[in-house]
Amino acid sequence: MKTLVVYLMSGPKTPELAAAAVAGGADVIELGFPFSDPLADGPVIRRAAERALGQGMRTRACLDCVARSRELLPETPLVPMTYAALLEAYGWDRFARDAQSAGATSLIVADLPVDVRPELRRVQLVAPTSTDERLRIAAEHTDGWLYLVALTGTTGARADASPALAGLAGRARAVTDVPLYVGFGISTPEQAQAAAELTDGIVVGSRPVEVAEEGAEALRRYVRTLRDAVDSVVAV
């Protein structure tokens, strides 16, 4: 079975949305902690972050959002995804500790390459530009799975599948046995299926953030189409 990871921006209604995504077939939920200047994000998540900050979703409120999601979803891995600025202000160790006690499973920091603060346990990201040596070091340090950034670019839906993914997945597979989940640019069931064929799982972000605007039921139905697409891939 391939793993389906769904990203949602933290907000007042996010715990219920996360539960709907899991009901639709999500295996892992990433919870965005908004930052005012998100360099790795395209317009959809950038705007969602602006809205969330406008609703008061500061670090403390985001940690509460993790805790409330944990109550609704006792079994689902919950992974905060954020930027270094929030940890710098909150305190690096304190952030990791408080996230864990709120129920977080791990952590993703979009602007923290593996050689910066290597002691912070987190899911490492690698990109098509990463050298084989960097892939190996990231895989060695990563917490549970390796996040393959499918393309050189920011988050956001793309019309076509990334031509860079096959090469990256092959190079990563050659240096590590950790699960490889791929994200960035995946929004349709067709893209989900194609990406799942090359990896152990997929991460979908901008489109669920948009669909979540239409409510929990719309999100559940959308995630179900991804689940079905991913399940149609025969494990190799």
Residue type, 2: K
Binding site for other proteins (CB under 8 A): 35-37, 39-40, 42, 46-47, 50, 53, 58-59, 83-90, 110-116, 124-131, 134, 138, 149, 152-154
Q: CB of 191: closest distance to other proteins in angstroms?
A: 18
For other proteins, the closer CB: 59 or 187 = 59
In angstroms, what is the C-alpha Rg of the chain?
Answer: 16
Q: Where are the alpha helices (DSSP H) in the chain?
A: 14-23, 43-54, 59-72, 84-90, 92-102, 132-141, 165-175, 189-198, 206-212, 216-231
Taking a C-beta distance cutoff of 8 angstroms, is the pair 232, 202 a contact? no
For other proteins, the closer CB: 39 or 174 = 39
Q: Locate tokens 């050298």: which residue?
A: 131
Q: CB of 39: closest distance to other proteins in angstroms?
A: 5
Q: CB of 131: closest distance to other proteins in angstroms?
A: 6
- Asked about 197 being catalytic, the answer comes back as no
Distance, in Å, from the CA atom of 14 to the CA atom of 17, rounded to the nearest integer, reads 5
Options 16, 27, 30, 214, the catalytic residue:
30
For other proteins, the closer CB: 163 or 215 = 163
Options 41, 88, 140, 177, the catalytic residue:
41
- Asked about 30 being catalytic, the answer comes back as yes
Taking a C-beta distance cutoff of 8 angstroms, is the pair 123, 106 a contact? yes
Q: Locate tokens 């640019």: which residue?
A: 185
Distance, in Å, from the CA atom of 50 to the CA atom of 66, rounded to the nearest integer, reads 19
Q: CB of 213: closest distance to other proteins in angstroms?
A: 18
For other proteins, the closer CB: 150 or 192 = 150
So which residues are the catalytic ones?
Answer: 30, 41
